[in-house]
Chain A
């Protein structure tokens, strides 16, 4: 009997980083470490909230919510270079 369930943190094997077409880039000079992007990031991958965000790009889907929410416009989405196969 197989019941489809998962424990917290187990979907970590499903790396979603390859989904993104745009990647967030952070201007460290503008960043005020307010942690608003930490709270809004749906993936929870903005690193330590007391520091300038260090994004885990293995999971960042490029949703741009951080760019929209940043009050000092320190985050900018840039085109992800096309991967050669």
Chain B
């Protein structure tokens, strides 16, 4: 066990180094820059095998597609516009079943330009066929990255580990980073089934006629849904070795809770702290941190959330429609007598502190289904 005091980006980079990726290709973009920087340092010091200094995010993901196609363990990190530039190739990575691991340091999207945190960037990529894990603190980020390599390589699906930009990437704190010798206990070497090999030539992602295309997409969809089991299994295995168990979501004082806030990302640590405060006042409140957004655990959420009064808190939007997390929770809870409210905002780095979250708990106690923006608090505007 090695406890270090460092920021989220450096912690994640060290965890990645301990997983020994074969190919790393990064293009720096705030707030994921430190990850790219650290990976470059590790390469320069001879700690990792390859670092490709590419000229754009599109090149980064393309280099990894090539790398993963030859059976290599691959990693990159990006944010916001960089992720959007990768968009086209993300579908290819998933479609060709290449187990790439990417850390997304969540940041707002332009315009107007903002470098601060919200989850609009990764939410906009939710339909690309990638597994998406959201982390609420740096410890979870480190652990999820280590698990992500095994999840990707056993399901042959690419994994996005989403950590909030600045709130996590730049926040300095104590993190327990498993050293390489301990990571080897939980992370087996990657043995690809199909890969580019001059001795046994083949083409990947080739043209399909209407008679075959849909079956490939059906398979990808079903495999993504079935990867839930693997995510739980690997989370449990990790817990056995390192005493920190992970699943599709984290319940916090949920069993007897009447009023629950559901969300993802760093805001959920604030929600948990607020739950503690309100529990001291004997209020029956709880929280649910959704770690795994893709695949979406509909049935699992239905089992534990039905009958409660729920507020969905999210830092993202689906412009011109309802916010994505809210719509999926409502869909999951169809046919149950659950009151679901939607609170969206906290965009572009706007703070969601315990005072703001207390207001939301107060609002869902009216037991009316609300849909509203999270208002800016007095004194926030500068």
Give the docked Cα–Cα distance between A6 and B208 (Å): 10
Q: Provided the pairs A2-B215, A14-B209 are in contact, do residues A7 and B96 lie with their beta carbons within 8 angstroms?
A: no
Is B205 an interface residue, CB under 8 A from the partner? Answer: yes
Residue of A whose beta carbon sits closest to that of B212: A4
State A6–B201 Cα separation when bound (angstroms): 9
The prevalent SS among residues of A at the interface is loop
Q: Tell me if B97 is interfacial: C-beta within 8 Å of chain A.
A: yes
Q: What residues on B are CB-neighbors of A3 within 8 Å?
A: 96-97, 156, 193-194, 204
Q: How far is the CB of B129 from chain A (nearest CB, A)?
A: 12
With A and B bound together, what is the CA distance between A2 and B212 in angstroms? 11
A27–chain B nearest beta-carbon distance, Å: 35
Interface presence of B223 (CB below 8 A):
yes
Across the interface, which residues of A come within 8 angstroms of B156, CB to CB? 1, 3
In the bound complex, what is the Cα–Cα distance between A20 and B327 (angstroms)? 49
Q: Is A8 an interface residue (CB 8 A)?
A: yes
What does the 1/0 interface line of A61-83 toward B look like (CB < 8 Å)? 00000000000000000000000
Q: Are A4 and B206 interface neighbours, CB within 8 A?
A: yes
B337 interface residue per 8 A CB criterion = no
> Are B97 and A7 in contact, with the CB atoms below 8 A?
no
Closest to B155 in A: A1
A8-B202 in contact (CB<8A): yes
Question: Which residue of A3, A4, A5 has the most chain B CB atoms within 10 A of its CB atom?
Answer: A4
Size category of the binding interface on chain B: 20 to 34
| Given contact pairs A1-B156, A1-B219, A14-B209, A6 touches B203 in the complex (Cβ within 8 A) | yes
Taking a contact as CB atoms under 8 Å apart, the answer to whether A7 and B201 are in contact is yes
- CB contacts between A and B, total, < 8 Å: 40
Residues of chain B contacted by A2 (CB below 8 angstroms): 215-216, 219-220
A5 CB to closest chain B CB (Å) equals 5
* A5 touching B203, Cβ below 8 Å: yes
Enumerate chain A residues within 8 angstroms of B97, measured Cβ to Cβ: 1, 3-4
Quick one: closest A residue to B95, CB to CB? A4
Q: Is A4 a contact of B205 with CB atoms below 8 Å? A: yes
Q: How far is the CB of B223 from chain A (nearest CB, A)?
A: 6
- A11 at interface by CB-CB < 8 Å: yes
Given contacts A1-B219, A4-B97, A14-B207, 10 further A-B contacts (CB under 8 A): A1-B97, A2-B216, A3-B96, A3-B156, A3-B194, A5-B194, A5-B204, A5-B206, A8-B201, A8-B203
Give the top 7 A-B pairs by smallest Cβ distance, nearest first.
Answer: A2-B219, A6-B206, A3-B97, A5-B204, A5-B202, A6-B203, A4-B216
Q: Could you jot down 20 A-B contacts, CB within 8 Å?
A: A1-B97, A1-B156, A2-B219, A3-B97, A3-B156, A3-B193, A3-B194, A3-B204, A4-B95, A4-B97, A4-B205, A4-B206, A5-B194, A5-B203, A5-B204, A5-B206, A6-B203, A6-B206, A8-B202, A8-B203
